[in-house]
Copies of this chain bind each other. A is one copy, B any other.
Amino acid sequence: MDDIDRALLAALQADATQAYAALGKAVGLSAGSAHERVRKLREREVIRHTTIDVDPAAVDRGVLSFVMLQSNAWMGDPPTRDALAAIPEIQEAHIIAGSASLLVKIRTSTPEQLQAVLRRVFDVDGVTGTQTIIVLETFFERPLNVTDPDPAR
């Protein structure tokens, strides 16, 4: 994992459809060598998937919200994860420190649909309350930064 690998990751984050010849040119390698490095990055699972970024509004998921869940028990076990994963509108779920215990990211078509999802969330074992944060506008959502050095090391 050197600077070339990081440059390859950044280039692929920006556009994963480009040819290895172009990729190699961008980092100063031949197409074959670029290919070999990318293959290894996939093998090591530094690159986990190749995927597409879909416009939420175009598929009727224009309403974004974050919901913090209070609970009366430890929620870090598989049954809770599976119950949340079964709700398709939930895009992310995290266990958090602090007064709440879970944070989920939800995308729905309308606020009414959000209400329907919250009803399902309340049915998850252990959930005793919710606090909803409605997003009015998204400034940006971008790939994880891979190039910036870490000043601490």
A interface with B by C-beta (< 8 Å): 1, 6, 9, 12-17, 44-56, 58-61, 64, 66, 68, 76, 80-81, 84-85, 88-89, 91-98, 100, 103, 107, 109-110, 112-113, 116, 133-148, 150-153
| Residue of A136, A138, A139, A140 contacting most chain B CB atoms (<10 Å) | A139
Known pairs A51-B53, A91-B142; A60 contacts B136 (CB<8 A): no
Selected A-B contacts with CB under 8 Å, 7 pairs = A13-B52, A45-B58, A49-B52, A49-B53, A50-B53, A98-B134, A100-B133
The 9 closest A-B CB pairs, nearest first, are: A93-B139, A88-B145, A46-B58, A49-B53, A16-B50, A81-B139, A95-B137, A94-B135, A88-B148
CB distance from A73 to the nearest CB of B (A): 15
Q: Which residues of B contact A141 (CB under 8 A)?
A: 91-92
B144 in contact with A56 (CB, 8 Å): yes
Nearest to A92 among chain B residues (CB) is B141
A94 in contact with B152 (CB, 8 Å): no
B138 in contact with A94 (CB, 8 Å): yes
Known pairs A16-B16, A94-B138, A152-B112; A53 contacts B48 (CB<8 A): yes
Known pairs A59-B146, A109-B152; A51 contacts B48 (CB<8 A): no
B59 in contact with A6 (CB, 8 Å): yes
Known pairs A46-B59, A151-B116; A54 contacts B140 (CB<8 A): no
